[in-house]
Structure 1
C-alpha cells in the first residue's frame, strides 16, 4: 500500500488499543513506526542506483514478518526508555494509566503491531513482498488491493485525525478505530473475493474457447489503480498471452487482447537464451513472478534489441503489455554492447483515463 495509508493504519492501530493508556503521542508513534519499513528505498544510498537494486531491496528484509515484529518491539522499548528519561512521571496521567512495566509492555506491543501491519498490508497487493527474509527470498502476493484505494484510506484518515485531535472523547476514538479496522478487514476480504470470482469467470470462458489449454493455463486478476472492481485479467497459454479487462458488474464475455509470445521476432534463439541467463534478466523474472514477455528485434548493425516487459500491470491501449521493463542491445553474437535501459511507459493521467476507469468499474 502507499506510505500515507501505512501511516494511517499504524495510527489507527494505536487508537484502537493504546491511545487511552499511552496518550495521543501513541497515535503519532504508531503511524511513524508503521511507515518505517519503506525506508528501504534509501538502499540506493549504499548500493549502485539501478532499477535492479530497487527490485531486489524494496519490500525485502525491512518487510519481513520476523524482522518487523522484532524491530517494532525494540523501537517501542526505545520510545519507553526515552519517555522515562525525559518525563519520569507524566504531569497529567492518561485514563487507565499504567505502571512503568506496563507502559514498557504497551509501547513494545504497539511498536510490534504497527510495524508488522506494514508487510501485512503490502501482502494484499500484486508487487510481491519478501515476508520471510532473510531466510527466504520468496515473494508473496495476494492480488486483492491496488496500491492506492480511496475507499480504503479515507475512513482510516477520518479516524486517525479524530483520535489524534480529540482530548475528551478517547473511548469514542477507540470504538471508531476498532470499527474502521473491522471495515478494512472486510473490504480487503471482499477485494480478494472479487479477484477470485473474476479468475473463475475467466477460466470458464477459456474452457469454452481453449479447451485443450485451459486446464493448465495460469489465470490471475490483477487490481487496477484506485478501486477493486475493474480487473486486469491475464491468462498464460502455451503460444500466447491473453489480457482482458472486466468487472463483476458486466456479464458480457471478456474481450481478450492476444499477444503472441514470439511477437515481432523469432521464437527462442541462442541469443535470447544468452540474454535471459544474465543476472539482470534473472532478477527481473524473479521480481515479475515469471510473467515476462520478450521481444527480439534485429538492428541494422547486425545485432539485436531485446525487450522484456512485466505484463502483470498495464491498461487498455498502448500500455496493454505492461508499464515497465528492460531493454538490452547486443551484437550479432548476442554480447551486450550497451548498458541495459529501463522502460517506463505509464500513460499520462488524464480525464479520459478517469472516465475509462469509471466505465470499467461500472461494466459499461
Structure 2
C-alpha cells in the first residue's frame, strides 16, 4: 500500500501495543516502523532494474526481517527513551513490521512474506491506494490522538479505525469474487476458451475490476463495473514471445518473466523491443492501447549484457486516465 496508509496502520498498531504506556510516542514509533519495510525501493539506485524488482517487497517484507530487526530497533529505542523495557519496544516494532507486508499481500504486487522461499503472496483485492480504506482509518486515529493515553475513548477510536479498515478489506475480497464470476460468465457466454484468468481492482476503487485472460496465443484484457448494463468485451493482445528469439533463454529475461508471473507481452516499435507487464494494466482506457503502466525497453549491448529500462509515465496520461476511470466506473 502507499506510504500514508502504512503510516496510519503502523501508528494504530503502535497505539494498541504501547499506547497506554507511552501515549502518542507509540503512534510515532509505530508510524516510523510502518514505513521502514518500504526502504527496499532504494535498491533501484544501486542495482539494475531486474534485481531491484526482485528485491522489492522481498526480504524487508518477510517474517525473517521482523524477527531479526524488531529486537534490534527495540533495544536501540530503549537506550534513549524514558521507557526502558526492550521487550515492549521490540513487540511494537515486530507487529508494525509484520502488519505492513500482511496488508501489502492484498495488492497486485504482493509480498514475499515467507522469504527466502520463492513464494509471493498477492491476493489482488485492493489497489495500492484506496481512500475508502485509508481516510476513515486516518480520521479515527487523529481523533484518538487528542485523548489522554489512559482514556477509554482513545482506545475506542483506535480500535474503530482498525475495525473499519479491516472490514472494508474483507468486503473487497467478496467484491473480487463477485467480479470474477462475472468475467467467468462473460467468457463462457462468448465461447472463449482460456487457460487462466487474473483479476484486480482498478485504481482508487473496488467498483471497477480488470481481468487478464490467457489464451493460447493472446492475452485478453477486459473490465467490469458493478454498474455495467451492456455485455462485457475483451481486447486481445498477442503474446509475441517469438520476438524475443534467443533472448528468451537469457538468464535476465527468465528472471523478468518470473517477476511478471508470466503475465507479459512483447512489443516492437522502431526496431526496439519492449517487455509489457500486464499485471498493472494500462494508462489508457482506449481500445488496443499500448500504453502499459509498466513497460520496459529491452536492450542487448555489444558485450552481451541485457538490460531492462523502465519507460517513464506521462503525467498528462495519468490525469486523463483518472477522468476516464470515473466515467467507466459509472457503467458501460
Provide the TM-score with structure 2 as the length reference.
Answer: 0.88
- 2:96 is the counterpart of 1:114: yes
Moved more, 12-21 or 171-180: 12-21
Q: Deviations over 1:20-41 (max 9, x none)?
A: 1222211101111111111112
Matches within 5 A, 1:166-181: 166-167=147-148, 170-181=151-162
User: Aligned match of 1:250 in 210, 225, 228?
Assistant: 228
Distance (whole Å) between structure 1 residues aligned to residue 312 and residue 120 of structure 2: 22
Distance (whole Å) between structure 1 residues aligned to residue 37 and residue 307 of structure 2: 31
Q: Residues 138 and 344 of structure 1: is their aligned pair in 2 closer, same or farther, counting only changes over 3 Å?
A: farther
Q: Residues 40 and 350 of structure 1: is their aligned pair in 2 closer, same or farther, counting only changes over 3 Å?
A: closer
Does structure 1 conserve the Cα–Cα contact (< 8 Å) formed by 2:263 and 2:277?
Answer: yes
Q: Residues 338 and 126 of structure 1: is their aligned pair in 2 closer, same or farther, counting only changes over 3 Å?
A: closer
Report what 1:322 is aligned to: 292
Q: Residues 170 and 287 of structure 1: is their aligned pair in 2 closer, same or farther, counting only changes over 3 Å?
A: farther
- 2:63 is the counterpart of 1:65: yes
Distance (whole Å) between structure 2 residues aligned to residue 254 and residue 170 of structure 1: 53
Does structure 2 conserve the Cα–Cα contact (< 8 Å) formed by 1:308 and 1:325?
Answer: yes
Q: Deviations over 1:289-314 (max 9, x none)?
A: 111101356x7xxxx53221001122
Using the TM superposition, give the Cα deviation of residue 164 of structure 1 relative to its aligned residue in structure 2, in angstroms.
3.2
Report what 2:266 is aligned to: 294
Distance (whole Å) between structure 2 residues aligned to residue 307 and residue 336 of structure 1: 18
Report what 1:355 is aligned to: 323
**How many positions carry a matched residue from both structures?**
329
User: Aligned match of 1:278 in 224, 240, 250?
Assistant: 250
The root-mean-square deviation of aligned C-alpha atoms, in Å, is: 2.7
Q: Residues 326 and 349 of structure 1: is their aligned pair in 2 closer, same or farther, counting only changes over 3 Å?
A: closer
Using the TM superposition, give the Cα deviation of residue 191 of structure 1 relative to its aligned residue in structure 2, in angstroms.
1.2
Using the TM superposition, give the Cα deviation of residue 320 of structure 1 relative to its aligned residue in structure 2, in angstroms.
5.5
User: Aligned match of 1:147 in 119, 128, 152?
Assistant: 128
Distance (whole Å) between structure 2 residues aligned to residue 239 and residue 137 of structure 1: 28
Q: Residues 350 and 236 of structure 1: is their aligned pair in 2 closer, same or farther, counting only changes over 3 Å?
A: closer
DSSP-derived class of the 2:324 partner: helix
Matches within 5 A, 1:59-138: 59-83=57-81, 87=82, 103-133=85-115, 135-138=116-119
Using the TM superposition, give the Cα deviation of residue 44 of structure 1 relative to its aligned residue in structure 2, in angstroms.
4.2
Distance (whole Å) between structure 2 residues aligned to residue 337 and residue 279 of structure 1: 10
Q: Deviations over 1:78-99 (max 9, x none)?
A: 323432xxx37xxxxxxxxxxx
Task: Give unmatched runs, 5+ long, in structure 1.
Answer: 89-99
- 2:277 is the counterpart of 1:305: no
Provide the TM-score with structure 1 as the length reference.
Answer: 0.81
